[in-house]
Structures are given as C-alpha cells and as structure tokens.
C-alpha cells in the first residue's frame, strides 16, 4: 500500500500553511508589537511608582501630621486606603495600558519613518503619484 506525502513526513494538511512565510512574518510582527507594548506598560508602572513614592516622601517630610492623623483614625484609614487603592489601580492598569499602546505606536511609527528615510537615501526619492 502506497503512503501519501502527509503520512511519510508525519505532517498534516495544514503543515504548509503553518510554515508559510506570511504567517511567520505576521507572528514576528505581533511579537514585536507585544514586546513594545510591554516595555511601555512596564515603564509607565515604574514611573508611576516613583512619582507615588516621591509624593509619599513629600507628605512624610513636610506634612507628617496629616499622615499620622490619617493612620490614627481607623475610619479615615479605611477610607484613605480604599481611595489610594482605587487611584493606584486606575493609574497602574487603565492608564498603563493606554501608555503601553502609545509607546508601541510611537516606536512603530518612528522605526517606520527611519526605515523610509534609509530606503529613500539608498534608492533615491521616487515620485509614486505619476504611476500609470
């Protein structure tokens, strides 16, 4: 009994599609965009934590009475901690995601502009509006 190519090589019918150059390029592009998004998101997280730490240090140095009064009163402590948690959650997650997308878009556009400039220097400026 003669075996088919798929049986000989142990490959399914979709193997050719999975190995196509187009799919690999799309996968690389998506991984690159995800990488840039994560960098932007992490940078924003770090920046937010630094700013929050500086604000807390400023309150502790210049207005320690406010901080101590908030801790002494349990009701205010619960209210202040909930407010702080909501602010941090909003800053870290919602604004962090927005910052990640902005960083990803900015990196992609700037790299595209640099590549266009490099190609225009290499091949010279061409007028594509006069195409037939």
Question: What's the confidence (pLDDT) of residue 129?
Answer: 54
Question: What's the confidence (pLDDT) of residue 102?
Answer: 86
Percent of the chain with pLDDT over 90: 0
Q: What is the pLDDT of residues 74-93, one digit of tens each?
A: 565 566 667 777 777 777 77
For the question of whether the overall pTM of this predicted structure is more than 0.75, the answer is no
86 contacts 27 by C-beta, under 8 angstroms = no
Question: What's the confidence (pLDDT) of residue 28?
Answer: 82
Question: Is residue 29's pLDDT more than 60?
Answer: yes
Greater model confidence, 71 or 34: 34
State both tokens at 110: 């700037």
**Mean pLDDT of all residues belonging to the chain:** 74
Average pLDDT of span 16-22: 65
Question: What's the confidence (pLDDT) of residue 70?
Answer: 64
Taking the CB of residue 45, how many other CB atoms lie within 10 A of it?
Answer: 17
45 contacts 96 by C-beta, under 8 angstroms = yes
3-class DSSP state for residue 13?
Answer: coil
3-class DSSP state for residue 125?
Answer: coil
Inter-axis angle of helices 64-72 and 21-62, nearest 10: 100
Q: What is the pLDDT of residues 95-120, one digit of tens each?
A: 778 888 888 888 888 888 888 888 88
């Amino acid at each position: 009994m003669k075996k088919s190519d798929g049986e000989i090589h142990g490959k399914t019918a979709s193997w050719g599609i999975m190995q196509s150059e187009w799919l690999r390029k799309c996968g690389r592009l998506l991984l690159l965009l995800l990488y840039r998004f994560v960098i932007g998101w992490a940078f924003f997280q770090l920046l937010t934590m630094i700013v929050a730490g500086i604000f807390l240090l400023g309150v502790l140095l210049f207005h320690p009475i406010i901080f101590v009064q908030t801790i002494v009163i349990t009701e205010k402590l619960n209210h202040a901690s909930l407010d702080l948690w909501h602010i941090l959650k909003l800053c870290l997650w919602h604004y962090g995601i927005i910052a990640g997308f902005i960083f990803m878009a900015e990196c992609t556009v700037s790299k595209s502009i640099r590549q266009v400039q490099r190609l225009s220097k290499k091949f010279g400026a061409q007028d594509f509006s006069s195409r037939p």
